[in-house]
Structure 1
Amino acid sequence: MSIPPFKLNGRIWLEIDEEKVLGHGRVELLERIHESGSIRQAALQMKMSYKQAWDLVNHINNGFKQPLVISKRGGKGGGIALLTPFGQEVIGEFKELQQKFFRFLDKNGKK
């Protein structure tokens, strides 16, 4: 029996206590928050509800020992959301791990 040609594929998820905390989409959300300074703007850019984005940010923050995003409620001009230095570090580590994973797939995944 011969195995037909195949290609490996996959995605990286960081899990803490068996709970998915960070993956590609959530990293994109964090990056958009960093660029815009706003959870609402990031949600709009990603075509998701503000509540869904807020829930994801809370889930991410609760998964780590310190927050990746801090937010301040706004008045007339609205609130602000900032990626913490720790959040920037986590994103950098995630992207580095993701690149290693892609290199592994490219090297080993074509049969």
Structure 2
Amino acid sequence: MTERILDHPVLGALEPDQTVTFTFNGMTYEGRDGEPIAAALLAAGVRTLRHHEESGTPRGIYCNIGHCFECRVEVDGQQGVRACLTPVREGMVINGGGPLPAPVRDWRKNHA
């Protein structure tokens, strides 16, 4: 299933590009080689990229230009990668972040 605009009334038809396969949180998805990770996931219907470190509330694409850091994910073991700026490539392993362990949350609450 894709939610891409395949034929835009002003920009025209989307040119065929190479499709790549990648995983996000253990599930396999397809994207267009070189498109931002966030765009590939959005086209696949994925809206939540990570969860807030303390509250656990879902986070996704917000500014989509690299300013807000809400789209941070782990890519091939590297944490803090902005999904809106990072091109998707064949075989990438992407994971969204989740709440930190309770002792870290408790420490932050007591030292704020």
TM-score range, shorter chain: under 0.3
Pair member with larger Rg: 1
Q: Which structure has greater helix proportion?
A: 1
The structure richer in strand per residue is 2
Q: Compute the TM-score of the two structures, normalised by the length of structure 2.
A: 0.26
Structure 1 length normalisation: TM-score? 0.26
